[in-house]
Amino acid sequence: MKIQAFPYNDFVIPFLIGTVLLFGIIIFKYIKWIRRFDDAQRAVIRSNWYLPWKVFPAIWEMLREGLLHVRILRKNLVLGIMHQAFALGWFLLIMVGAIESRDAFISLNHEQDIEYVRQLENQTGWSVKDKEQKKDPEQLNQRRYRVETESGPARIHYRRPFYVGIFYRYFVHEAPATFRLHRRYADTMDALLLYVFLGLTLAVVKIFYSRMMGMRRTTKHTIVDRFAKFSLWMIFPLRLLAESVTACLYGNGGFFTQAVGNLFDPMIVRGLETSLWMFYSLMLGVFFVTMPFTRYMHIFTELLLIYFRKLGMKESPKKTGYTYFELNACSRCGVCIQGCPMDKVLGNHEVQSVYLIRSIRNQDFGRRLKNIAENCLMCDRCTVDCPVGIDLSALRRQTRDKGPIDTIGNYSYIPDDKQPFNAMSRVVYFGGCMSHLTPGITQSMERIFQAAGQRYWYMDKDASICCGRPLRQQGFTNQSDELRRKNTEMIEKSGASMLVTSCPICYQSFKKEYDLKIPVMHHTEYIDMLIKDGRLKVRHDDRHVSYHDPCELGRGCGIYDEPRSVLSAVTNLQKTRYQREKSVCCGFNLGNTKLSVEEQTRIRNVSLENLTSKPVDAIATACPMCKKAFQRATTQYTVRDIAEFVAENIID
Amino acid sequence: MKKVAIIGAGPAGIEAASALARMGVAVNLYEKSETPLKNLQDKALLFPNFQAAQEVADELAGKLLTDGVSTVYGTDITELKWLGTEWKLFDAKGQTYVADAVIVASGYQVFDAHRKEELGYGIYKGVITSLEMESMIKHGRILNASGDEPRNITFLQCVGSRDEKSGNNYCSKLCCVTAVKQAIEVRKQLPKCEISVFYMDLRMWGQGFEEMYRTAQEKYGINFIRGRISEAAGTFDSRIQLKSEDTLMGLPLKMTSDLLVLMVGMEPSCGTRSIGVSCDICGDYGFIRTISPHLYDNETGRPGLFAAGTCKRPMSVWDSINDARSAAVTVKEYLDQQG
pLDDT digits (tens, 9 = 90+) for A480-518: 999 999 999 888 888 888 999 999 999 999 999 999 999
Distance CA A542, CA A259 (A): 70
Phi/psi for A384 (5° steps) reads -75, -25
Burial A219-242 (b: 16+ CB within 10 A, else e): bebeeebeebbebbbbbbebbbbb
Which of B109, B111, B115, B244 has the highest number of chain A CBs within 10 A, making it the mutation to test binding with A? B115
Distance CA A561, CA A367 (A): 41
Chain B residue numbers with beta carbons less than 8 Å from the beta carbon of A601 are 167
Count CB atoms within 10 A of the CB of residue A131.
8
Question: Quick one: average pLDDT of A546-567?
Answer: 95
Supply the pLDDT for residue A127.
63
* Domain total in chain B: 2
CB contact under 8 A, A631 and B165: no
The CATH fold assigned to A537-648 is: Rossmann fold (3.40.50)
Cα–Cα distances in angstroms (integers) from residue A558 to residues A522, A575, B274, in the given order: 12, 18, 42
Q: What is the DSSP string of A313-357?
A: ----SS--HHHHHHHHT-----HHHHH-HHHHTT---S-SHHHHH
Q: Number of H helices and number of E strands within chain A?
A: 33, 10
Mean pLDDT for chain A?
89
Supply the pLDDT for residue A284.
95
Residue B224 has pLDDT above 70, yes or no: yes
Is B46 found in the same domain as B187? no
Amino acid letter, residue B254: K
Supply the pLDDT for residue A425.
60
Distance from CA of B225 to the nearest CA of A (A): 21
**A28: pLDDT confidence band, cut at 50, 70 and 90?**
very high
CB contact under 8 A, B124 and A635: no
Is B121 found in the same domain as B77? no
**A114: pLDDT confidence band, cut at 50, 70 and 90?**
confident
Q: B317-335, pLDDT tens digit by residue?
A: 999 999 999 999 999 999 9
Is B254 found in the same domain as B139? yes
Residue A631 has pLDDT above 60, yes or no: yes
Chain A residue numbers with beta carbons less than 8 Å from the beta carbon of B112 are 635
- Percent of chain B past pLDDT 90, that is, above it, reads 87
Distance CA A547, CA A607 (A): 11
**B228: pLDDT confidence band, cut at 50, 70 and 90?**
very high
Which of B109, B110, B112, B118 has the highest number of chain A CBs within 10 A, making it the mutation to test binding with A? B118
The CATH fold assigned to A421-530 is: Rossmann fold (3.40.50)
Supply the pLDDT for residue A391.
93
Distance from CA of B49 to the nearest CA of A (A): 35
Distance CA B57, CA B36 (A): 9
Question: Quick one: average pLDDT of B271-300?
Answer: 93
CB contact under 8 A, B233 and A597: no
**Final residue of a structural domain among B265, B287, B320:** B265
Q: What angle in degrees, to the nearest 10, is found between the helix axes of A39-48 and A298-311? A: 80
Distance from CA of A509 to the nearest CA of B (A): 23
CB contact under 8 A, A439 and B117: yes
Q: Are A331 and A353 in contact (CB under 8 A)?
A: no
Chain B residue numbers with beta carbons less than 8 Å from the beta carbon of A635 are 112, 114-115
Containing domain of residue B317, as a range? 3-107+269-338
CB contact A635 to B (< 8 Å)? yes
CB contact under 8 A, A443 and B115: no
- Percent of chain A past pLDDT 90, that is, above it, reads 61
Residue A129 has pLDDT above 70, yes or no: no
Residue A417 has pLDDT above 60, yes or no: no
Q: What is the 3-state secondary structure (H, E, C) of A259-286?
A: HHHCCCCHHHHHHHHHHHHHHHHHHHHH
Mean pLDDT for chain B?
93
Residue A144 has pLDDT above 70, yes or no: no
Distance from CA of A443 to the nearest CA of B (A): 9
Count CB atoms within 10 A of the CB of residue B169.
14
Chain A residue numbers with beta carbons less than 8 Å from the beta carbon of B117 are 437-440, 627-628, 631
Cis peptide before B48 (omega within 30 of 0): yes
Q: Are A445 and A427 in contact (CB under 8 A)?
A: no
Distance CA A30, CA A37 (A): 11
Amino acid letter, residue A485: R
Q: Are A508 and A469 in contact (CB under 8 A)?
A: yes
Distance CA A393, CA A385 (A): 12
Question: CA of A634: which chain B residue's CA is closest?
Answer: B115
Domain boundaries, chain A: 10-102+181-295, 109-171, 311-400, 421-530, 537-648
The CATH number of the domain holding residue B117 is 3.50.50.60
Q: Are B269 and B262 in contact (CB under 8 A)?
A: no
Residue A147 has pLDDT above 60, yes or no: no
Q: A7-26, pLDDT tens digit by residue?
A: 888 999 999 999 999 999 99
Cα–Cα distances in angstroms (integers) from residue B54 to residues A151, B57, B137, B223, in the given order: 134, 5, 13, 29
Number of A/B CB contacts below 8 angstroms equals: 40
CB contact under 8 A, A627 and B117: yes
- Angle formed at CA A64 by CA A217 and CA A280, multiple of 5 degrees: 70
The β-bridge partners of B225 are B198
Is B140 found in the same domain as B79? no
The interface pTM score, or ipTM, of the predicted complex is 0.84
Is B259 found in the same domain as B290? no
**B102: pLDDT confidence band, cut at 50, 70 and 90?**
very high
Supply the pLDDT for residue A361.
87
**A652: pLDDT confidence band, cut at 50, 70 and 90?**
confident
Question: Quick one: average pLDDT of B256-269?
Answer: 95
Supply the pLDDT for residue A363.
76
Cα–Cα distances in angstroms (integers) from residue B41 to residues A355, A435, B57, B310, in the given order: 60, 38, 7, 16
Q: A66-109, pLDDT tens digit by residue?
A: 999 999 998 889 999 999 999 999 999 999 999 999 998 888 88
The partner residue sitting opposite A632, judged by closest CB among B115, B124, B231, is B115
Q: Are B296 and B290 in contact (CB under 8 A)?
A: yes
Is B120 found in the same domain as B96? no
CB contact under 8 A, B167 and A601: yes
**Final residue of a structural domain among B206, B234, B265:** B265
**B73: pLDDT confidence band, cut at 50, 70 and 90?**
very high
Distance CA B196, CA A531 (A): 45
The β-bridge partners of B124 are B121
Q: What is the DSSP string of B147-185?
A: SSPPSEEEEEEEESSSBTTTTB-S--SSHHHHHHHHHHH
Domains A421-530 and A537-648 agree in fold = yes
Residue A189 has pLDDT above 80, yes or no: yes
Is B36 found in the same domain as B174? no
